[in-house]
Structure 1
Amino acid sequence: MVTKEFTVDLNKPLVFQVGHLEDAYQEWVHQPIISKESPRFFENDFLEFLTRTVWWAIPTTWLPVVCWGLVTSFHMGQSPSQLALSVLSGVFIWTFIEYIVHRFLFHIRTKSYWANTAHYLLHGCHHKHPMDGLRLVFPPAAAAILCIPLWNLTKLVAKPAAAPALFGGGLLGYVMYDCTHYYLHHGRPFRNPAKHLKIYHMNHHFRTQTMGFGITSSLWDGLFRTLPPALKACEKSS
């Protein structure tokens, strides 16, 4: 890929190259390369290993934590109906977090060396190589670090008995998000709503990358007026 001032060599580890693109990074990263695997990220084998995650690691890691949250809240006195409300509230809150993070963090515009590098690791690599199945879901080790402040925040805003179930609901929403995201890239849905979501998300990748930030739902795109235009062209290719 050639830019005005810097050429990214796809045969060499990418992470410490992309920062040199500076202002040209945004254009480069939104020109997708369709391949099952992306080029190597790091020269170091251990760092390279950490960037690759199989999709089933997400439910395997986090569904037991979701169950812990429900069981803990139940033993602390929550009724089944209260548990259901806490979990559904957590899932609903997650859909909002999903939209906000995707729109304002994952699609932040960068141009400095380290900002470009961080963005590429966080989300840019997914737009550059959208079909790389091993760099599509979020690594559990990184997610575990983020869970610490989120758990503390949950305990701060929710009643003690409700906090574990609410947190578990948020995690359930995240698991649904990451598994849905993987399926939208690698599955072949023939019926709605999955078919609609795939068209919706492929439109975000290949047509209108500044709109359509929802993954599991278009609710917040509708509320915040970031719905993409008509998807007729995508429907023909689905």
Structure 2
Amino acid sequence: MVAQGFTVDLDKPLVHQVGHLGEAYQEWVHQPIVSKEGPRFFASDFWEFLTRTVWWAIPTIWLPVVCYSISVSIRMGRTVPEVALLVVFGIFIWTLMEYTLHRFLFHINTTSYWGNTIHYLLHGCHHKHPMDGLRLVFPPAATAILLVPFWNLIKLLATPTTAPALFGGGLLGYVMYDVTHYYLHHGQPTVEVPKNLKKYHLNHHFRIQNKGFGITSSFWDKVFGTLPHSKSAKNR
């Protein structure tokens, strides 16, 4: 595609190209290419490897951390019912983080070279190639880095005995989000709830990309007024 005199060559590594699109980047990145084969990001095999993650790596790596964190609060004297409530609250906190990150960070408008490049790596690539199965979940190395400030924030807001379980709940919420996200793109649900979630999320990709930011539910979209209108409501 030609934009501002620059042509993005889809047969070459994309990350160092997309920044040159400037103001045309937002239009380009929201014109999806529906293909299960993902593009090359980097010329370097090492950096390319770091951008690709199989979905099952997420529960395999992070569920043991979840279990350990929860067990720490129990060993420190918290009862099982108390810990269960903390875990549920941690999941609830994650759902708000999920919505906030998706709406205000992943869909930020960028025009500069580095802004476009960073946005493409964070989320733009997913909108451009929504069926790329190896770039649907967040790379574990990046997650590990982001968990450091998240843990420090939890420690600041919670007590020493409640912080681990709260952290474990938040991390569990993230795991549920990432595997759900993968399933909505590549699964074929037959049950009503996941069928509706899949329809809701694909609507965000292919019809109204500035609404419907919730992945695991539409709750926060309803709260903050970003629930997309249905086609039937639009035609009334």
Equivalent pair of 1:37/1:134 in contact (CA under 8 Å):
no
Q: Is the 8 A contact 1:199 1:231 kept in 2?
A: no
How big is the shift at 1:6? 1.0
Report the TM-score, using the length of structure 2 for normalisation. Answer: 0.97
Give the letter aligned to residue 192 of structure 2: N
Q: Measure, in 1, the Cα distance between the counterparts of 2:121 and 2:145.
A: 16
Alpha carbons of structure 1 residues 231 and 91: separation in structure 2 relative to 1, 3 Å: farther
Structure-2 residue corresponding to 1:193: 193
Secondary structure of the corresponding residue to residue 111 of structure 2:
coil
How far did residue 69 of structure 1 move?
Answer: 1.0
Q: Which residue number in structure 1 is paired with residue 51 of structure 2? A: 51
Alignment-mate amino acid for residue 20 of structure 2:
H
Shift of 1:191: 1.5
Q: Any idea what SS the aligned residue of 2:192 has? A: coil
1:231 Cα shift?
Answer: 5.2
Unpaired runs of at least 5, structure 2: none
Cα distance in 2, alignment partners of residues 96 and 67 from structure 1: 22
- Three-state SS of the structure 2 residue aligned to 1:193 is helix
CA distance in 2, matches of 1:36, 1:156: 43
Answering whether residue 84 of structure 2 is matched by residue 61 of structure 1, we say no
Name the CA distance, whole Å, in 1 between partners of 2:94 and 2:229. 25
In the alignment, the residues of structure 1 paired with residue 159 and residue 39 of structure 2 have an alpha-carbon distance, to the nearest angstrom, of 47
Q: Which runs of 4+ in 1 moved over 4 A?
A: none
Cα deviation, 1:35-54, whole Å, max 9, x if unaligned, reads 11221000001000000000
Q: In structure 2, how many angstroms separate the alpha carbons of the residues matched to 1:80 and 1:45?
A: 46
Q: How many residues align?
A: 232
Please give the residue correspondences for 1:121-160 in structure 2 after superposition, counting only pairs within 5 Å. Answer: 121-160=121-160
Q: Distance in 1 between matches of 2:231 and 2:86?
A: 35
Aligned to 2:164: 164
Q: C-alpha deviations, 1:41-71, integer Å up to 9, x for none?
A: 0000100000000000000010001001111
* 1:5 corresponding residue in structure 2: 5
SS of corresponding position for 1:227: coil
What's the CA shift for 1:115?
0.3
Q: Which residue of 2 aligns with 1:211?
A: 211
Name the % identity: 71
1:116 corresponding residue in structure 2: 116
Q: Find the counterpart in structure 1 of residue 223 from structure 2.
A: 223
Provide the C-alpha distance between the structure 2 equivalents of 1:183 and 1:207, rounded to a whole number of angstroms: 20
The one-letter code sitting in structure 1 at the alignment partner of 2:7 is T
What's the counterpart of residue 179 of structure 1? 179
Distance in structure 1 (CA, Å) of the matches to 2:25 and 2:48: 22
Stretch deviating more after TM superposition (187-196 or 45-54)? 187-196
The one-letter code of the counterpart of 1:155 is K
TM-score, length-scaled by structure 1: 0.96
1:51-106 Cα shifts (integer Å, max 9, x gaps): 00000000001000100111100000110110111000000000000000000000
Equivalent AA in structure 1 for residue 155 of structure 2: K
Distance (Å, rounded) in 2 between the aligned partners of 1:161 and 1:231: 49
Q: Answer yes or no: is the 8 Å Cα contact 1:32–1:128 preserved in 2.
A: yes
Q: Name the SS of the counterpart of 1:220 in structure 2.
A: helix
- Displacement of 1:3 in angstroms is 2.1
Preserved contact between residue 90 and residue 169 of structure 1 (Cα < 8 Å):
yes
Q: Which residue identity is paired with 1:134?
A: L
Q: What residue is the counterpart of 1:95 in the other structure?
A: 95
SS in 1 for 2:7: coil
- Cα gap change, 1:158 to 1:124, in 2 (>3 Å): same
Matched residue SS, 2:189: coil
Aligned-pair Cα RMSD in Å: 0.8
The answer to whether the 8 Å contact 1:200/1:231 transfers is: no
